[in-house]
Chains A and B, each alone.
Chain A
Amino acid sequence: MSNLSQTTHIKIEILIRIIKAFLSDDFEEQARLIPYNMRPKGMEVPYRCCVYKERAIIKDRTIAGLGFPIEEDDETVSLAKYAKQALDRTEISDKNLTVLQAACKGCATNRIYVTDLCQGCVARPCQSTCKFGAVSIVNGRSVIDESKCKKCQMCIKECPYNAIVKITVPCEDSCPVGAIKKDETGFASIDYDKCINCGRCTAACPFGAVHERSQIIDILKAIKSGKKVIAMIAPSIVGQLPGSIYQLKTAMIKAGFFDVYEVAQGADVTANNEAKEFIKRMDEKQSFMTTSCCAGYNQLIKKHLPEIKPYVSDTKTPLFYTAEIVKKENKDSTVVFVSPCVAKRAEVFENENVDFVMNYEELGALFIAKKIQINELEETKYAKEPSKQGRNFGYTGGVAEAVKKSLKDEDLVKPCLINGLNKDSIKQLNKYAQTGECEQGCNLVEVMCCEGGCISGNSTINNQKTAKKLINALSETSEDIKKV
């Protein structure tokens, strides 16, 4: 995507307003006013039928921004009350996504549909090709009986007028594991037993109906109360905000963080450990090993693909090792992971060394609310400079390369890449698990849930190409990873 979508634009604007409200001297009242300030009286209505509906939708989005599930809102509770509840809460939920169901109304259900372009032809290839007897002719035109239709799409292929279309529900279509569905009532909902938190639906929905439940208020609260709040920034953050990552550190300290660590530092540990483990497994005559740093992939293994577990590296993620270092060096600290995706929220929920997650959009919103011009600031060094390969962890191919470069004999590694989890690549992984073997004699499978790697995580704001270029520009200045 070359330009930021309107839905993301609105979500970020709401986050900025929530943060500004928190920083004001009357959080509750300012939170209540967000829909009115965004859609003031007399304003031209940009998207929906009237200003009142616009405000109602913005209120729902603000509820998610304050960290609550929209589905449970009964419409009687004011944003002021929600703001108060956000201040009072002491725990976060493991359900990371929430759906603004009011937006689902505009979205037709998944089906095969004969449009007005049907000419009522004599040949009727749609009818003769259908193996399920779902196509009949009513008033000279083809009609599909949905109770019989298996959505095989043969009629679409056969129609010489291109009159038959597949109507898709974008969130359902985007989900690699069938966890989000429009139910009988026409509302989409998420099945958390299946959801791998890949966040693809948040980006796919054209109404912007799927929201992350933000922890921004919890983080701001910790900062305000004077706690030592330490941020760990993922390698994929490079290029997602203006300026260099050294200016970014200055900006984050200005925004109230006590210190900032690069997770690329932990990526070096992951790569080294994974390299040692790789040698061991190859010595034990295992035919291949997969990487284990992607949180979306780890959720997939747990919920859908336990068969591949024996082949998955036991090495921990860069987030894990970085958090260990942070906690060791700062005993009484609150730790925030700055993340490209929802999936890491799930990982953090299970990691006792990390307290909260904020994504790139939220961090950007914080800088905007605090009027911090990152690219005009001085640079601050990090306590430890990560390696070139550690800094390249966030794009496809980076992890496998780091493992390879960690070995004295680099030629031992024959990598292959699962670049993005989808129905096909999940099948492929399943095949590897069943046969115990990988294609073309490859022995290290790098798995990235997002196509392109973390640089295309659901909360990234730059395009892949530019982001990768900027990461490379930084990593070129870094030293090679140490060998094991």
Chain B
Amino acid sequence: MSSELILNAQKVTKTFGGLVAVNGVDFTIPKGTIVSLIGPNGAGKTTFFNIIAGLYDPTSGTIMFDGAPIEGRRPDEIVLRGIARTFQNIRLFANMTALENVMVGRHVRMRANPFEAMLRTPRERREEAAVRLRAAELLEYVGLGGSAPEYAKNLPYGDQRRLEIARALATDPKLLLLDEPTAGMNPQETASLTRFIRRLRDELGLTVLLIEHDMSVVMGISERVTVLNYGSKLAEGTAAEIQRDPKVIEAYLGSGAIGGTSTAPAGA
């Protein structure tokens, strides 16, 4: 793993009162890779995500992103530096249109202040037009071109997941955090989304960190897999190494999971 690290988290710990949700986790992501974070429910995956995205401050530890420390920064500052995310339970702006949702994602790359908006200066108008166009392109890119004027809450489930990705892409991220993007999808949709995630990396040069329960997705596209269990790192390696690791099999995959096509483990 000689390539440059886009994210380097060292000894990250997060406690809630007496509960240690994340316990001294070291975690790195090489630039341009797809990395997965797996583990049983309650293993601290989403907490770790939220620490990277700035929703939680870590109790201790450091996180370097693209050469600068980001731990303890506000979410909007972290987005500005180039990390965007989706949510496990879809959190779209339900009563805004699909297009407006993506335009909100563009917020952080816009310069216009309210006074320019009141005067509607030429620069502000150009920026609005450009953002509108860019948002429309992104909707097209994720396959929602025809849904621009629809309210987000009226979109079917799978489309909402894609809209969340489009909204995240609108922030021009370098690192995209996807929290269980295939949850609730049928196998066909899941396969389609898996291909799409690979496209994001190949076409847009994104680095992707994935939380995922569906082993077919994890094993299919991740260069590296990290397994969390009870807040600590249990194992790390390529998909193939993880699948053979006896500790992982015991804690998470279950003995029948070696085929690589199983869905969420029963013991989770």
A and B bind: no
Partner-B contacts on A (CB < 8 A): none
Partner-A contacts on B (CB < 8 A): none
